Chain A
């Protein structure tokens, strides 16, 4: 019999609801808080170099976040967003990918970006919107992007990258590439219409995309229990007919293993997969936010104990791959390097005035060229009012 509705017909003769919470998704945990493995769990295969690169990346991001939030408080940059508490989610997942897999992130995935090789100088140039910023000083801090390392430039509107990732991955498939796209987003962004559109498009068109939901409990002030009623986000993937996994986002080994498995499945079967990572946004939403207005210090303290870096550090020490004393020296050295890079980047000039009109189109249209010429004439008349550009108009 044909199935025009594309729905399983299992006949019953007494009406009965399927409960809204009928589907429970288990959470993968490998690494305990004390650095030991759970009984029955096996660590994914990791060579020492990769394992240490993952660790170094998490530590780098932790120190960078600390330093740059302080720089924002000092008025040196206008805005900042930390990923405190979520370092393992983005680093562990990025580590499980190929360097040419596309990353489409939301805005709190600096861990994945750093793992790919974004340099300290590149971070700083973006944060200071200077003329060396790859984005030409056009976006607020933390809106990174780099074609060289397959990291799509961040867009502030939430969820827009989700259907784009479906399309990007579909194109990778059509081109016969052996690469996937990973798409990061928060549990809040999963409420946007684009989430539903993107998942369904990927499922219907069999796009090899990994949807990676960072469920960190909060969308600015809105707790997850005011964001959705179902069992997390993972169960929705099942509704769209795709495979789903849920992992402890503070457990980098679990995140790594889940992403490796998702990537393999996506490429071998040309299918989307969704991973939901359970973690906690330990910092404020951004430097403009103050969580004391919507959650308690006690709640934060409880989650602070669930530190993704410390449990991985203990595992590495136990394996004999990391020395505690060296580790402390590394952090001190990093702090100095970051401060030095900051001091350099903040002195680099802002982008030249020609970049007001470049990249709106491939070539500036005549109207824009005329507007720029008029602006230059205006600035020449009032140079004191436009100190950033007045001295270098030609």
Chain B
């Protein structure tokens, strides 16, 4: 085990994947010599050469299309989109091409092994073009897998599983935690299964569900609620698509209550999908309406970021509303 922050864990995962398999290639804007603007690909060019770790021209649609082509040929491109806010020029390549490659060809061709890595989320005074959480757009696209880690250990195992996956994966990294989140990470290769949620804390009164950077936020809220005698079960969804409805439903059948937290705006956010599925699976077990604590239905603000975000106090209030219903 070694102490790593999330960037080091991601860098370590890429290093191991490139060492293990010659077909793994990393590229994106500033990814080469410089090692990426956040340094996630630091030293990889030095170690594996310019052919396997390189800068691309500044074109997200080009990066995505290029990655599709490489993956169709059988390689495993790990393409970085510098900020998730800048993924939209690549939307057509991802939604119409990446996601449908296997399906449209009757499995003649596929882009399994392709991973798009991209930092997402707020908390860095980034305003609306450096703070967005666009997971719901991609969750609405059959054929993609969408994964979001909460800490360095998860980031490494989930990223290695994503690269090994036979299906293309969008891997959103909570940039607020890149350096802030530090933990023990095994130095050797390991994978964490995609599509599985994790119960990070057992409890009996209410289930609190989140992913990525919001896991820390809900943990704070849970601690507040526990001081009021409320026992919380906490779940990290980890994979947004496909998502682990069984683990969530099992928990909600036990607690009878569910609070979902995400950074992205409320309307059309992934919490809506979870709420709909869980009310169907757990209708007779529910003791209170499912609560959603999310960003407001506005672009991500700058000066009023603190007011806007789905913070621990709003989450605590939702937990208490749920148990007192």
Contacts and interface: CB of A to CB of B under 8 A. Distances in A.
A310 to B, nearest CB: 31
Contact of B58 (A138, A192, A294, A365): A192
Contact of B34 (A136, A294, A371): A294
Q: Is the interface of B mostly helix, strand, loop or mixed?
A: loop
B321 to A, nearest CB: 11
A81 to B, nearest CB: 13
A373 B128 CA distance: 22
Contacts of B296: 356-357, 368, 371-372, 375
Interface string A356-387: 11001000010110011001001101100110
25 contacts: A79-B125, A137-B303, A138-B299, A140-B302, A156-B129, A157-B85, A191-B62, A220-B29, A220-B34, A220-B37, A221-B30, A221-B34, A222-B29, A222-B57, A226-B55, A356-B308, A357-B298, A368-B297, A368-B298, A372-B296, A378-B314, A379-B307, A381-B317, A382-B313, A388-B304
Contact of B33 (A221, A371, A385): A221
Given A191-B59, A221-B37, 8 more contacts: A129-B302, A192-B60, A288-B37, A293-B34, A353-B304, A365-B297, A368-B297, A382-B313
A288 B175 CA distance: 14
Interface string B282-325: 00000000000000111101111011100101100100000000
Contact of A367 (B267, B301, B317): B267
User: Which has the most chain A C-beta neighbours within 10 Å: B62, B266, B296?
Assistant: B296
Contacts of B137: none
Interface string A187-205: 0110111100000000000
Given A221-B34, A228-B57, A356 B298 contact: yes
B58 A157 contact: no
Interface string A234-246: 0000000000000
A191 B32 contact: no
B297 A353 contact: no
Contacts of A78: 125
A372 B307 CA distance: 10
A155 interface: yes
Q: How large is the interface on A (under 10, 10 to 19, 20 to 34, 35 or more residues)?
A: 35 or more
A137 B61 contact: no
A139 interface: yes
A288 B125 CA distance: 12
B130 interface: yes
Contacts of A351: 303-304
A129 B127 CA distance: 11
Contacts of B306: 385-386, 388
B183 interface: no
Contacts of A221: 30, 33-34, 37, 55
Contacts of B29: 219-220, 222
Contacts of A129: 302-303
Interface in A268-321: 288-289, 293-294
Interface string A132-147: 0000111110010000
Q: Which 8 A-B pairs have the closest CB atoms?
A: A137-B303, A156-B129, A221-B34, A191-B57, A188-B58, A129-B303, A191-B58, A78-B125
B88 interface: yes
Interface of A: 78-79, 129-130, 136-140, 143, 155-158, 188-189, 191-194, 219-222, 226-228, 288-289, 293-294, 350-351, 353, 355-357, 360, 365, 367-368, 371-372, 375, 378-379, 381-382, 385-386, 388-389
Given A156-B130, A367-B297, A378-B317, A222 B89 contact: no
A136 B35 CA distance: 35
B130 A138 contact: no
Interface in B72-111: 85-86, 88-89
Interface in B102-161: 125-130
Contact of B307 (A289, A293, A388): A388
A197 to B, nearest CB: 10
Interface of B: 29-30, 32-35, 37, 55, 57-62, 85-86, 88-89, 125-130, 266-267, 296-299, 301-304, 306-308, 311, 313-314, 317
Contacts of A381: 317
Contacts, number: 134
B125 A138 contact: no
Contacts of B266: 371
A64 B126 CA distance: 22
Contacts of B317: 378, 381
A289 B38 CA distance: 10
B307 A375 contact: yes
A78 B122 CA distance: 14
Nearest to A190: B58
Contacts of B32: 222, 226
B316 to A, nearest CB: 9
A235 B297 CA distance: 44
A179 B186 CA distance: 63
Nearest to A360: B298
Contacts of A353: 304, 307
Given A138-B299, A294-B33, A388-B306, A157 B59 contact: no
Given A222-B55, A226-B55, A371-B296, A356 B33 contact: no
Contacts of B303: 129-130, 136-138, 350-351, 388
A117 to B, nearest CB: 25
A386 B89 contact: no
Most A CB contacts (10 A, CB to CB) among B55, B302, B313 go to B302
A360 B34 contact: no
A30 to B, nearest CB: 31
Nearest to A137: B303
A228 to B, nearest CB: 7
Most chain A CB within a 10 A radius of its CB, from B33, B302, B303: B303
Contacts of A386: 306-307
B86 A157 contact: yes
A193 B62 contact: yes
Nearest to A220: B30
Given A137-B303, A222-B29, A367-B267, A194 B89 contact: yes
A221 B30 CA distance: 6
A248 to B, nearest CB: 24
Contacts of B85: 156-157
B127 A139 contact: yes
A228 B56 CA distance: 10
A31 B48 CA distance: 46
